[in-house]
Structure 1
Amino acid sequence: MNLENIKNKTVQMILQFSIPSIIAMVLTSLITIVDGFFIGNYVGKEGIAAVNLGLPIVYVYLGFGIMFGVGGIAIAGIALGAQDIKKSNNVFNQTVISSIIVSVILSIFICIFMGSIIRAVNIDAQVGIYFDKYYSIMILAYPIMIVNSTLGMFIRGEGKPHLFMLINILTVISNICLDYYFIKILRFGIKGIALASLISLIIGLFSMILFFLKKSSIYKIRKFQFSKQVLRDTVLNGSSEFIGQMSMSISMFAYNWVIMKNVGVEGVAAFTIVGYIAYLFSMVIVGFGQGASPLISFSYGAKEFELSKTIRKITNIFVFLSGVVVMIILFIASDWYSNAFVRSESVVALIRSGLSIFMFSFLFSGINTITSFYFTSIGKAKESAIISLSRGLVVLLICIFTLPTLFGMTGVWLVAPVTEAITIVLSIMFIRVNEK
């Protein structure tokens, strides 16, 4: 990384670092959206609701997966930088095995308490049947998802982010083809969606294992010596990412509980479909954040404080314009999008009204996310944590439990814009204090 390049080609450098990450993130989100399309059109609104009601489970798995991946690659990277190849490889193998063990234990735990989970969110009979059919297969797929996430971190650590992107493309294409085959041809219903996810994840897993067995130049699959110190440091290093995912799990559970109580299955289905757009947009924003972060850190470490601020400001312009573009597209295509996933008129009406309110959150959410990334990048974890907890848990939960009670489903759609608007006040305040 060259400081003069960052100074003279700031916009180009931001895009150069961000675009590969954005592509990888968008590909990941497409699997969820494609699954939703097939479930909505070939299973129905009850199927969409069933999958969404189990999303808190997914975030728990992601929390552990990201914690081990981020924590492990940080320790392995430091060892690699110190030319300690043996320790780096030891960390790699221990991280992978630890993630396998934890994810399998988690699947056993969830399998035992599946009935209690269904009762906790007050699922009606038909939705409960779909929930059981889908997640009885997905608890086999999620451990593979965790391992894939961990291996992907180490592929990036090998300096091959484009290879990981190609494996993601293979996984997405496999998932789409299998969705069509199991749903359209074999008529497997919601089980077919879960089987497609399981098989496509296995294809991705084998691709990455082949890489580490045959092509990797640094990290090799081999015997290792277990280290309590490495395990502790891995968990500590990845703890903030784990907390973030747990916040998502809690807030998603709260969303589902409130919507089921106030609106019912139609509300959950509509919220899920609107959420696909939010999910896709958040992946783009996180991609920009991941691209800008190393540039900000490098500039700040070189005492180029104004340059680090400039990178933040330019990235904020990118994410704000991205939000405006998404809003324009939704204004034009909201009718088409509302009818793309379900055939229920009541759900379509809820989606259409929801998009007209929810989309305003995109004007603020990108800036809040980038500001959080900025403070993390310059070593100010407290400010970053407050911003993340505000929009991801504290203010969000307050809005979830008040606005729908006052305004019904309109209140549900208001939660995101109100939360992001309140959080952006915090973001601006922290930026001003920091610049002083």
Structure 2
Amino acid sequence: VLGNVLLLCVINGFCFGGLTLIFLDPILHFFGASPATLPYARDFMQVILIGNPIAFTFIGLNNVMRATGYPKKAMLSSLLTVFANIILAPIFIFHLDWGIRGAALATVISQSIGLIWIVSHYLNKNTTIRFKPGIFKLKSRIIMSIFSIGMSPFLMNVCASSVVIILNNSFMRYGGDLAIGAYGIVNRVLTLFIMIEIGVTQGMQPVIGFNYGALLFDRVRKTLRYALIAGVSIMTFGFLLSQLFPSAIVGMFTDNHELMELSKFGLRVTCLMFPLAGCQIIITNFFQSIGKAKVSIFLSLSRQLLFLIPFLLILPRFWGITGVWSSMPMADFISFMTTIGTFMYFVRKGLLFKTNKTIE
């Protein structure tokens, strides 16, 4: 599995990065870049896409490290890239005056540092799962297993990208570049809490997967309960910060008065259903953890495809830019209700926890 993950990451990294570089300008236009923002987006993405194989390999091997019993090492490798980026970005952007390309280069170099750390782990003879001759051969059985489990987050990210396209175009239509800037600020804040939430789900998955396979359903229930408490608490904290201190949060990104006011309004609206979204994310990933990929895929896609995109196409026609902001919490609420209904159906039908194995 380790060998297949490495090969797939490298192949996908080169193919995706190369194709995107060839058609970069049309893609950026499609994503909503305006004549004013296109040069910055192009400068940033050219560097990022050249380093794409590094990013793919770093993320893939880091996840394998966590899944094979080294969660602390995986966390340290992620923190290493973050701190390296924090140090390098201001040097490249301001001191060396490399601008937006400097920011991208800092990201690629930071990921390279993290990748070196991870590769050294897999070369260590004391590591449980490590690089060995003969493992670097693609096998259809392993590839299909990887694809079936990873299809849910993959499709969720594809839908998220589709939503970004519609959002950017909607903000451009109803508010111009300033509205896109406001969404950029709001999205950074949302991403901060969502990434912490994803960290909880990634830590939950191997624990639930192992115990579910061992028929230790009491442990599965307990892990799910703890994950739900943590996930909802994280998102509730984000909700409270966004409602009580929007000026302080937005002020970290800009001092432009008009942009601040638009960002504060957007932040408050988009975070309205954060606590419910925390629950929805955990349960969706729970289904993925126990091998019910189809259910997880459906729940992942429901918010984006079934609810958010239709709202984005309809509400702005009546409420303008307010309709664009309001689409997100409305989709969160309906998605939460769908997820809870699906989970309760499986519980009542006895399709989740059948027989508990006794630990002797």
User: Normalized against structure 1, the TM-score is what?
Assistant: 0.72
Displacement after TM superposition at 1:232 (Å): 4.2
Partner of 1:374: 286
- The correspondence of residues 380-399 of structure 1 with structure 2, limited to 5 A, is 380-399=292-311
Change (3 A) 1:294 1:172: closer
Matching of residues 53-202 of structure 1 within 5 Å: 76=1, 92-202=2-112
Q: Which runs of 5+ in 2 are unaligned?
A: 349-360
Counterpart in the other structure of 1:204: 114
Of stretches 360-369 and 321-330 in structure 1, the one that deviates more from structure 2 is 321-330
- Is 1:407 the counterpart of 2:319? The answer is yes
Classify the secondary structure of the residue corresponding to 1:263.
helix
Higher relative contact order (CA 8 A, sep 6+): 1
**What residue in structure 2 maps to residue 270 of structure 1?**
182
Give yes or no for contact 1:212–1:221 (8 Å, CA) kept in 2. no
- Residues in 2 aligned to 1:265 and 1:312: alpha-carbon distance in whole angstroms: 42
Aligned residues of 2:152 and 2:288 also touching (Cα < 8 A): no
Q: Within 1, Cα distance between the matches of 2:280 and 2:261?
A: 30
* Counterpart check, 1:283 vs 2:178: no
Partner of 2:244: 332
Are 1:93 and 1:222, in contact at CA under 8 Å, matched by a contact in 2?
no
Contact 1:262 1:405 in 2 (8 A): no
Whether the 8 Å CA contact 2:276–2:332 is kept in 1: the answer is yes
Distance 2:92 2:46 in 1: 17
On the 8 A contact 2:284/2:299 being kept in 1, the answer is yes
For 2:254 and 2:70, the matched residues in 1 are separated by: 39
Aligned partner (choices 261, 267, 273) of residue 173 of structure 2: 261
Residue 434 of structure 1 aligns with an amino acid whose one-letter code is F
Q: State whether structure 2 residue 225 is matched by structure 1 residue 316.
A: no
The offset of 1:245, in angstroms, is 1.9
- Residues 221 and 204 of structure 1, relative CA distance in 2, 3 Å threshold: farther
Superposition map of 1:203-222 within 5 A: 203-215=113-125, 216-220=127-131, 222=133
State the SS of the aligned residue for 1:238.
helix
Summarize the Cα distance change of 1:237–1:288 in structure 2 as closer, same or farther, 3 Å threshold: closer
Where 1:126 maps in the other structure, the secondary structure is coil
Tell me: CA distance 1:298–1:231, structure 2 relative to 1, closer, same or farther (3 Å): closer
Work out the CA distance in 2 between the residues paired with 1:218 and 1:303.
25
Is 368-377 or 138-147 further displaced after alignment? 368-377
Q: 2:254 aligns with which of 342, 365, 378?
A: 342
Q: Percent of aligned positions with the same letter in both sequences?
A: 27
User: What amino acid maps onto 2:272 in structure 1?
Assistant: F
For these two proteins, the number of residue pairs brought into alignment is 346
Name the amino acid aligned to 1:219.
R
Aligned counterpart, 1:45 = none
* 8 Å contact from structure 2 (residues 5, 61) kept in 1: no
* Post-superposition offset of 1:211: 2.4
2:3–2:136: 8 Å Cα contact kept in structure 1? no
Q: Answer whether contact 1:179 1:193 (CA < 8 A) is retained.
A: yes
Query: CA RMSD of the aligned region, Å?
Result: 2.5
Aligned amino acid, residue 426 of structure 1? T
Describe the superposition over 1:322-352 as per-residue Cα deviations: whole angstroms up to 9, x where unpaired. Answer: 3332222223321111121123222111111
Q: What is the distance in 1 between the residues matched to 2:344 and 2:124? A: 51
User: Shift in Å at residue 130 of structure 1?
Assistant: 0.7
Instruction: State the partner residue of 2:159.
Output: 247
Q: Which residue of the partner structure matches residue 358 of structure 2?
A: none
Q: 1:426 aligns with which of 338, 341, 344?
A: 338
**SS of residue matched to 2:273:** helix
SS at match of 1:315: helix
Q: Which consecutive unaligned segments of at least 5 residues does structure 1 have?
A: 1-75, 77-91
1:260 to 1:222, Cα distance in 2 relative to 1, 3 A: farther
Q: How far apart in 2 are the matches of 1:310 and 1:225?
A: 38
Amino acid at match of 1:188: W
Q: Which has the higher helix share?
A: 1
Query: How many angstroms apart in 2 are the aligned matches of 1:107 and 1:132?
Result: 13
Q: 1:360 is paired with a residue of what secondary structure? A: coil
CA distance in 2, matches of 1:207, 1:126: 39
1: distance between equivalents of 2:311 and 2:172? 16
